[in-house]
């Protein structure tokens, strides 16, 4: 999709961050947000080894706060080509409204884990691990919000835990 300016809401070991950074042109930039600097430092040697470290702009802190900080600058509105979200699932709906202001028309947002271990299709009384049960409602909620958002077209990619790809059409 020729993305040049992107955002990653999460880092951890940096697998998806590295994939994004590798796909960007030499002058591309990825703003990478994580609450824990140690996660950024964990994957940083791989970024250096892959020759993409200069494309990464790390922002430490809660992703919602960092998104709000980006929104304070008018130049960031409708500026980003691609955004990938794999952080706090209980805030995906809160991210969505913010990120829709940062992404450009024709751009794409990916929300990871939208099949949530298959739990999105589980009956209410099905026995589920505690953390799966806890986030189920939040993940169902973001799927409903995305499905009813006329500004986007979505594709639920049924690989592993599921990723919802949203193409911004207005």
Ligand X SMILES: C[S@@+](CC[C@H](N)C(=O)[O-])C[C@H]1O[C@@H](n2cnc3c(N)ncnc32)[C@H](O)[C@@H]1O
In the chain, at which residue ranges do the beta strands (DSSP E only) sit? 5-9, 29-34, 56-60, 80-85, 103-112, 152-157, 163-168
Report the site for ligand X in 32-61 (rule: CB under 6 A). Answer: 33-36, 39
Nearer to ligand X by Cβ, of 42 and 154: the residue is: 42
Helix axes 130-147, 92-102, angle to 10 degrees: 40
Distance in Å, CB of 113 to ligand X, minimum: 8
Query: By CB under 6 A, which span of 28-36, 71-79, 103-111, 148-156 interacts with ligand X?
Result: 28-36
Q: Which residues pair with 158 in a beta bridge?
A: none
Task: In angstroms, give the least distance from the CB of 11 to ligand X.
Answer: 5
> Among 127, 170, 124, 125, which Cα is nearest to 150's?
170
- The two beta strands, 56-60 and 80-85, are unpaired
Q: 43 vs 126, which CB is nearer to ligand X?
A: 43
Binding residue for ligand X, selected from 7, 31, 47, 87, defined by CB under 6 A? 87
Q: Specify whether the CB–CB gap between 55 and 6 falls below 8 A.
A: no
Q: Are 7 and 95 in contact (CB under 8 A)?
A: no
Among 5, 6, 16, 20, binds ligand X (CB under 6 A): 16
- Give me the least distance between CB of 156 and ligand X, in Å please: 18
Residue from 88, 90, 101, 157 touching ligand X (CB under 6 A): that is 88
The yes or no reply on residue 134 touching ligand X (CB under 6 A) is no
* Interaction site with ligand X (CB under 6 A): 10-16, 33-36, 39, 62-63, 86-88
């Amino acid at each position: 999709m020729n993305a040049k300016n992107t955002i990653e809401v999460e880092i951890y070991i940096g697998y998806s961050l590295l994939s994004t950074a590798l796909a960007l042109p030499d002058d591309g930039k990825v703003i990478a947000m994580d609450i824990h600097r140690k996660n950024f430092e964990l994957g940083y040697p791989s970024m250096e080894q892959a020759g993409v470290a200069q494309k990464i702009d790390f922002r430490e802190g809660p992703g919602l706060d960092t998104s709000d900080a980006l929104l304070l600058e008018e130049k960031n509105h409708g500026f980003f080509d691609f955004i990938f979200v794999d952080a706090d699932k209980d805030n995906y709906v809160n991210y969505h409204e913010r990120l829709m202001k940062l992404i450009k028309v024709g751009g794409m947002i990916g929300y990871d884990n939208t099949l949530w271990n298959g739990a999105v299709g589980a009956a209410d009384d099905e026995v589920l691990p505690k953390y799966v049960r806890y986030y189920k409602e939040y993940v169902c909620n973001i799927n409903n919000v995305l499905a009813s958002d006329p500004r986007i077209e979505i594709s639920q990619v049924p690989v592993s835990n599921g990723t919802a790809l949203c193409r911004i059409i207005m």
